[in-house]
Amino acid sequence: MKHNKIIISILTIFIILLSVGCSNKQENIPDSNENVNADYDSLFQELEEKYDATLGIYALDTETNKEISYNADERFAYCSTYKALAAGAILEKYSIEELDNVIYFEEEDVLSYAPVAKDKVDTGMT
């Protein structure tokens, strides 16, 4: 009886493996990602020059599997996730006394999304 269960189990696994091999194959989509990247590289370079910035871009069209990437192998600070690392690096590099130094800046140095800094142009910040 135990021998029959083993044979049935092996046959079941064999049939499953055969049926997987007979499944419908996915539609082959040609890989034209390099052409897509070439079309946009010059535009991305223009943006970098215009804004004196470095772009890191990756996009995937899930319907066609086309990808666009630019500087995809470089690392970038992403949103606020970088703030804790930057604060840690500053705390490691400078003493408490050095962090008490007042830093003065001009109004044109203040970014539009820095509400605290815009009120401290005259007094500076530590």
* Residue-number span of the structural domain to which 36 is assigned: 31-76
Domain co-membership, 71 together with 87:
no
pLDDT of residue 55: 92
pLDDT of residue 113: 85
The helix/strand/coil state of 125 is: strand
Of 17 and 50, more confident: 50
Question: Could you report how far apart the first and last alpha carbons of the chain are, in Å?
Answer: 82
Residue 96 placed within a domain: yes
User: Which is nearest to 56 in space by CA: 33, 34, 79, 39?
Assistant: 79
Domain co-membership, 71 together with 92:
no
Q: pLDDT for 58-72, tens place per residue?
A: 999 999 888 999 999
Q: Is the CB of residue 89 less than 8 Å from the CB of residue 77? A: no
Distance between CA atoms of residues 91 and 13, nearest Å: 60
